A and B are shown apart, each in its own frame.
Chain A
Amino acid sequence: DTEVTQTPKHLVMGMTNKKSLKCEQHMGHRAMYWYKQKAKKPPELMFVYSYEKLSINESVPSRFSPECPNSSLLNLHLHALQPEDSALYLCASSPVGVGGNQPQHFGDGTRLSIL
Chain B
Amino acid sequence: GQNIDQPTEMTATEGAIVQINCTYQTSGFNGLFWYQQHAGEAPTFLSYNVLDGLEEKGRFSSFLSRSKGYSYLLLKELQMKDSASYLCAVRVRGGNTGGFKTIFGAGTRLFVKA
Contacts and interface: CB of A to CB of B under 8 A. Distances in A.
Contacts, number: 61
B42 A50 contact: no
Nearest to A2: B42
Interface string B77-113: 0000000000100000011110111111111010000
**Which bracket fits the contact residues of A?**
20 to 34
Interface stretch (B13-21, B43-51, B63-71): B43-51
B42 A106 contact: yes
**Which bracket fits the contact residues of B?**
20 to 34
A73 B52 CA distance: 36
A45 interface: yes
B32 to A, nearest CB: 11
Contact of A104 (B45, B99, B103): B45
Interface of A: 2, 4, 31, 33, 40-45, 48, 50, 53, 55-56, 58, 90, 98-109
Interface of B: 30-31, 33, 35, 41-45, 48, 50, 87, 94-97, 99-107, 109
